[in-house]
Structure 1
Amino acid sequence: MISPGDKLLCTTGNTFYSAGNTYVVGDIVNDKYFQLFTGYNDEHWYASLNHEKIYVSFNSATTVYNDAWFDKLNNKKSA
């Protein structure tokens, strides 16, 4: 389950997301898509959660970018 404010660790990056960096989840769009901020101003792309894999797909007819892949960090604070 992904919630706004969760942090995701980029495991495979590209031009917009760097491997090893963390990124913050924005608004939930629907049961498949949610915003994932790039860390630059309010820029974001739409990420998807599919079979427990989190990714931002970059399908473009004019430019080829690799998809970015993420792992959810443990966002719960310990007591």
Structure 2
Amino acid sequence: MISTDDKLLCTQGNDFYLEGEVYTVGRIVNNKYFQLLTGSNDDHWYATLDKEGICVSFDSIVAEGDKARFDKIA
């Protein structure tokens, strides 16, 4: 379960999320999507929690590497 203000550790980074950095969950959109803040002002991408874990998917034109992956910090 993901909640607003949860902290997530990036385990696979890309142009927007750096591996090893901690990011904060923003607004919960619905039971599948939630905002994941990038750390710079209120910028965010939409993340999802699926059977493989937490990820933000990107169009390969937008970012080098099509997914950033995260683990929830207990």
State TM-score, norm by structure 2: 0.92
**SS of alignment partner, residue 34 of structure 2:** strand
Q: Cα 1:24–1:64, aligned 2, differ >3 Å: closer, same or farther?
A: closer
Q: CA offset at residue 51 of structure 1?
A: 1.4
- Give runs of ≥4 in structure 1 deviating > 6 Å: none
Q: What is the RMSD of the two structures over their aligned residues, measured on CA atoms?
A: 1.3
Q: Cα 1:6–1:64, aligned 2, differ >3 Å: closer, same or farther?
A: closer
Tell me how far apart the structure 2 counterparts of residues 45 and 63 of structure 1 sit (CA, whole Å).
12
Q: Tell me what 1:77 maps to.
A: none
Q: Tell me what 1:14 maps to.
A: 14
* Alignment pair present for 1:25 and 2:21: no
Larger Rg belongs to: 1
Matched pairs, number: 73
Identity of aligned residues (%): 60
Structure 1, unmatched stretches of 5+, are 75-79
More strand by share: 2
Q: CA offset at residue 64 of structure 1?
A: 4.8
Tell me how far apart the structure 2 counterparts of residues 64 and 7 of structure 1 sit (CA, whole Å).
23
Tell me how far apart the structure 2 counterparts of residues 64 and 5 of structure 1 sit (CA, whole Å).
25
